[in-house]
Amino acid sequence: AQSVTQLGSHVSVSEGALVLLRCNYSSSVPPYLFWYVQYPNQGLQLLLKYTTGATLVKGINGFEAEFKKSETSFHLTKPSAHMSDAAEYFCAVSPFGNEKLTFGTGTRLTIIP
């Protein structure tokens, strides 16, 4: 069984400030981990993924995430928030590749001008 917990359903940061979105997972096997972004009235778009190897993963739009096995975490960060980052972000886990993803409940990111 697998599960994902995203701490904070709403996060607000000032433009130019650090973005930190938290994700903790539970998995009985080595996990595959993903972050997706959803803009209003659109489908989801992959930001980044962890499969194996390097634990610091870089994605699109300046985002990155670090896989920490000891903490069962995969937090998403961006050094400097931009207004265009306002969206909903979902963390997901899979036991095998991209099959049977389990999603977290999402974090809505608001950017304050």
Partner 1 sequence: NAGVTQTPKFQVLKTGQSMTLQCAQDMNHEYMSWYRQDPGMGLRLIHYSVGAGITDQGEVPNGYNVSRSTTEDFPLRLLSAAPSQTSVYFCASSGRREDADTQYFGPGTRLTVL
Binding site for partner 1 (CB under 8 A): 4, 9, 32, 34, 41-46, 49, 51, 90, 92, 94, 96-106
Contact 86, 111 (CB under 8 A): yes
Nearest distance from C-beta of residue 1 to partner 1, angstroms: 11
For the chain, give the number of residues: 113
Nearest distance from C-beta of residue 84 to partner 1, angstroms: 19
Give the C-alpha separation, 100 to 102, whole Å.
7
For partner 1, give the closer residue by CB, 42 or 83: 42
For partner 1, give the closer residue by CB, 53 or 113: 53
Nearest distance from C-beta of residue 30 to partner 1, angstroms: 12
Give the C-alpha separation, 56 to 3, whole Å.
21
Contact 107, 21 (CB under 8 A): yes
